[in-house]
Amino acid sequence: MLWLSEVLIQGTDLESFEDLKEELKKRARGGELFFQMDVKPPFPDTPDGWEDKLEAAFTTRQE
């Protein structure tokens, strides 16, 4: 199980919500199957509906 808080702690180079989405895509392509959101991303550009956007990034796994 991949937790959002884990991604944020490990992703010290993440600077934006877009960086976070790309990291989730990378993790999904790397074999992660399940993703759980346990915190709100701390980035100033985090949009409304961020949960749906992160879920879409993780499940589509597009390059």
* Per-residue pLDDT at 9: 96
* Per-residue pLDDT at 59: 93
* Per-residue pLDDT at 63: 53
User: What is the pLDDT tens value at each position of the chain, 63 positions in all?
Assistant: 999 999 999 999 999 999 999 999 999 999 999 999 999 999 999 999 999 999 999 998 555
Domain boundaries, the chain: 2-60
Buried/exposed 10-36: b ≥16 CB within 10 Å, e otherwise = eeeebeebeebbebbbebbeeeeeebe
Partners of 36 in the β-ladder = 3
